[in-house]
Amino acid sequence: MILDFVDLLFPKICASCDQALQKNEICFCTNCRIDLPTTQDYSIKENETKKVFYGRIPLENASALLYYEKGGIVQNLLHDLKYRGNQKVGEVLGNWHAELLVENGWKNQFDWVIPVPIHKKRLSERGYNQVDLYADAFAKHINARCVKDLLLRSHKSRTQVFKNRIARSKVTKSDFYLTDNYEDVSQKKILLVDDIITTGATMEACCSELLKLPNVKISIASMALVK
């Protein structure tokens, strides 16, 4: 009864369309869930997401859950995640994406899940890395360890989505560095995760650094791929 009264005064709203959520809806409403443009690449080995990185970095597998278009509902969803403190978005998308990939053989295939890091100043300003709960959800579903202190960011950057393509491509491997927090780093199967793939420059820079580890194999997963 009290919870019903609280919901009446402070209704939970959809992260995509800002409409009030029903009791059985989490994060986004049923209509937006149906309308979200999924890539459906989870069952395709050489898919559109992986092709972004052809000739750039060696990847075992790659997948993005949604297509991102400027002004679309995915932009609203990720804006809620990054700038309105709605971390639940990352968790819900992580559970959804990971469940799809587990159905297609991704379970027990990885040792570590590593979220693309944000700079410590950005972390202080925002209070969280928007990819952390997405990474946690993946780690739980695929039976891997989530490692958040091996790969760090050395430079604060502006959001990639609103840069032009030339500016996006200027992310380099010098923007990231490996710490010495782990002794056993050889022969690991790593899943690197991020929120949006634009040109792929950020993930390429992260992978270039991770590939300094001996005999590692890398796959990637992202909430969205810019269309």
Q: Cβ distance 203 to 175 under 8 Å?
A: no
CA distances from 173 to 23, 48, 119 (A): 45, 23, 14
Task: Give 35-38's long-range contacts (Cβ < 8 A, gap of 24+).
Answer: 35/73, 36/66, 36/73, 36/74, 36/77, 37/66, 37/67, 37/69, 37/72, 37/74, 37/227, 38/65, 38/66, 38/67
pLDDT attached to residue 227: 86
Structure tokens at 56: 């750039």
Tens of each residue's pLDDT in the chain, 227 residues: 443 433 433 468 998 898 999 988 989 899 998 999 999 999 899 999 999 999 999 999 999 999 999 999 999 999 999 999 999 999 999 999 999 999 999 999 999 999 999 999 999 999 999 999 999 999 999 999 999 999 999 876 555 454 555 444 456 657 999 998 888 888 999 999 999 999 999 999 999 999 999 999 999 999 999 98
Could you give the domains of the chain? 1-35 (no CATH), 38-226 (3.40.50.2020)
Residue 103, both tokens: 């159905």
- How do strand 151-153 and strand 176-178 relate by DSSP bridges? antiparallel
CA trace torsion 119, 174, 90, 168 (10° rounding) = 110
Q: What is the pLDDT of residue 136?
A: 98
CA dihedral 71, 74, 75, 76 (to 10 degrees): 90
